[in-house]
Chain A
């Protein structure tokens, strides 16, 4: 009866649960780009302040999704842009904000005074059969006590980035320019994509290029160079070329008062990229050894340094040259009831939780992953096989964080051994807030509570 009425009136009736189910109304079979084209027509038709723009959309776009739109709605609403993705999205944010670092945090950081909710970014993704590296990616997922970098051990090594000349904003590069000269330790212009691109070229010529990004929060302009270039440099050239000499250092993580743009932990974005390594030290001694290994590793490495620990953490560090192995997780506390996995500054918080849990009779095994990709599954698997329980903790937001990868891998390997679900005590799914930081952070007590509930599952 309802269906007949729909045919007659062309209306969708309200279904029993009170929601209108428009997707089940009858239609013709069409392919994906035509469906998208229809949606765009409707979007432009129903809202006079809607715009469609991008590279080559005017004539219909390289996949024909925007066919006919320019003819119908005019070139002021459907238009080509210059060839510049950061420009396209930035422009779109501004346009959307007028209608009601940037898009994701726009509403939140302004206290909901502004939003760019009108912005939709479309991009074809996924395998196409012959697209290979650059037309097939599926992106639905996205110190401390400063180590002395020994430039004299390596023939052509360079350190560069914003403000590294005078020592850098965290003093990590103090004294290097004086000692090794301004041609080897130098400031760059304020441009992360330039820093990393330059570093790739320098490394590809056989040098060690140690690039600094001032805060991990600002690494995103270099994301294209890291993901599309550095990570694929060796593979795509059939090993004729490589930029293994590239190391990108960046301070990451909470600092107590950093807010959105001085506190981020973006490691998960990079863990999704085959071809690079991601290394995060937990302490001064670890940092020196891991950084030297990263610099000398024949693969490009992204090295995140926990800024919280730059001044706070003090440890005895050997003065000589030493390296610590990459992709080897370290069991820093042995236990038998539950395995905890973490990295960076979070480990000290987890360690406090372990100490408290010990008082209540729970024996915790704590593992520092230290290299996130390629990560040491075997050590974690062996530990969970022993304890039967796993808890992962990181500052980055829980959804899509690297803890999800660890959890999924361990469940695959240790399913029958697990006594309880894998727990993740992580940052919340908000931009990193300032005054709410204590609520956002995965604190010792949150971890302790989770340890107890996992053990008592």
Chain B
């Protein structure tokens, strides 16, 4: 009976709510001997509300008295509070509640997006402006311009029939260049296919780009893959492949290798908003978290996966929120603000390597260009939307305003630079066109480390066929 005295407030409360006499007991502090129980005290005995007509206490009379009998014994492992009951499950301690709750499908507050410069290139808060060296800032700008011009000219080359295919990064120059600027050459990169800027930053020349596009014998890929599928082992950038998001779990494996070698480096992998729907995205994030690998997942959320807008791609609040579901620290940045992207990637890299953990970065941007030269995006999106992003939200123009205002660049230098780059791109194209194609033998090498007998036979067969019907085969490929 001493129990009653300890919680007088509760007794009053109960009397006020007109429930039966015996209801007192259910608000007492009840000590459980978990070892003598196969089941804990039924939670409805301590529930605040219950919908049934008869008081549960009467139904559970037996178990209640059993609990009371053990009250004085000091064998409790769990304390049952009047409202909460906590128990250990394999995943950790779980707090129970008698209020049925559903976690909302969308967060109360949408994720905040980090940016440093506004749309006109003015710093938003000068006190927290990131320190980026002048050298890096100017290289970022020059590379963004180079990327812009290279895209425009290669696109035109496809339209003129000089190459079969091209995919631009128009509108995404910042998210291409700034991450590369924030990394070191030892960081291993596994791109999707819309990140040639990463290679450009690291030193891939315009000539090397052109060689791949013209599939000549200087192409490191030996003319085997479709255009824009670049790769460079000396620049630590894995060769791109067309299937979406397949590089993501591979990047986790690469990161694990860096972890085991205790390298001061991380793996960095890219995908688009569409890529986050692929099974490989979920596989990769889960593995990365479990294996505790030093990896950055950078998602270019550019609003479109060919013709599929975000509303048809997923219903979460963007991509950054998905990180938490896998136990991954994440952030969302303005992908058209190179300073913001640079800062975020730099910080993420530090965390990834020091803490040996994955980080997810969602960079919001817009795909101004068509998906590729095989696409006409005006078929599925309004032309004025494209123009708005091309002009008002242009990341290159925005960054240019920032650097010009700081006195590091001028309009005259800008036009001069652009003329030079244009010339270099044109020269690269002309040179690439003149370089001969890879020899036929390269079709049969590298399938395996050594050429097996079936491929040797097939090469002989093809050579015979070429002799008999030379007109069936392109004449510009050395046999």
Q: Which A positions have Cβ atoms within 8 angstroms of B? A: 55-56, 58-60, 62, 79-87, 129-135, 156, 183, 186, 188-189, 191, 193-194, 196-207, 209, 221, 224-225, 228-229, 232-242, 244, 274-275, 277, 298-299, 327, 374, 377-378
Contacts and interface: CB of A to CB of B under 8 A. Distances in A.
Interface in B236-268: 238-239, 241-244, 246, 248-258, 260-261, 267
A203 B231 CA distance: 17
Contact of A183 (B190, B229, B260): B260
| Most A Cβ at <10 Å: residue of B226, B249, B313, B375 | B249
A377 to B, nearest CB: 7
A194 B287 contact: yes
| Most A Cβ at <10 Å: residue of B258, B279, B374 | B279
Contacts of B445: 239
Given A205-B254, A274-B447, A133 B242 contact: yes
B385 interface: no
Contact of B238 (A189, A207, A224, A241): A241
27 contacts: A56-B306, A56-B308, A82-B277, A83-B244, A83-B274, A83-B275, A133-B242, A134-B226, A156-B257, A156-B260, A189-B283, A193-B279, A201-B255, A202-B253, A205-B257, A228-B243, A234-B448, A236-B221, A236-B229, A237-B221, A237-B233, A238-B446, A239-B222, A240-B233, A241-B231, A241-B239, A374-B453
B458 to A, nearest CB: 10
Contact of A240 (B220, B374, B447): B220
B447 A84 contact: no
Contacts of B248: 197
B164 interface: yes
Given A80-B307, A235-B224, A374 B251 contact: no
Interface size class of B (residues with CB under 8 A): 35 or more
B232 interface: yes
B278 interface: yes
A202 B256 contact: yes
A1 B382 CA distance: 54
| Most A Cβ at <10 Å: residue of B165, B290, B314, B446 | B446
A86 B281 CA distance: 13
A82 B308 contact: yes
Given A87-B277, A205-B188, A229-B246, A197 B224 contact: no
Contact of B241 (A209, A221, A232, A274): A232
B278 A84 contact: yes
B312 interface: yes
Interface of B: 164-165, 188, 190, 219-222, 224-226, 229, 231-233, 238-239, 241-244, 246, 248-258, 260-261, 267, 274-275, 277-280, 283-284, 286-287, 290-291, 305-308, 312-314, 374-375, 379-380, 445-449, 452-454
A235 B239 CA distance: 10
A327 B452 contact: yes
Contact of A191 (B277, B283, B313): B283
A132 B222 CA distance: 12
A201 B226 contact: no
A84 B279 contact: yes
B449 A55 contact: no
A204 B238 contact: yes
A209 B260 CA distance: 13
Contact of B454 (A183, A200, A277, A374): A374
A228 B239 CA distance: 13
A299 B312 contact: no
Given A198-B287, A275-B448, A236 B232 contact: no
A199 B246 contact: no
A236 B287 contact: no
Contact of A244 (B242, B278, B290, B449): B449
Nearest to A229: B246
B233 A188 contact: no
Contacts of B254: 201-202, 204-205
| Most A Cβ at <10 Å: residue of B250, B260, B291 | B250
| Most A Cβ at <10 Å: residue of B226, B231, B275 | B226
A84 B260 CA distance: 32
| Most B Cβ at <10 Å: residue of A59, A135, A275 | A59
B307 A56 contact: yes
A241 B233 contact: yes
A329 to B, nearest CB: 12
Nearest to B253: A201
A234 B449 contact: yes
Contact of B379 (A60, A135, A193): A60
Contact of A197 (B253, B261, B274, B305): B253
Nearest to B267: A201
B380 A201 contact: no
B474 to A, nearest CB: 11
Contact of A229 (B219, B243, B312): B243
Contact of B257 (A134, A207, A229): A207
Contacts of A59: 307, 379-380
B337 to A, nearest CB: 26
Given A197-B249, A197-B252, A201-B255, 18 more contacts: A55-B308, A62-B374, A82-B274, A83-B305, A85-B278, A87-B277, A134-B226, A189-B283, A198-B250, A198-B291, A201-B190, A201-B257, A205-B188, A237-B233, A240-B220, A241-B233, A241-B239, A378-B453
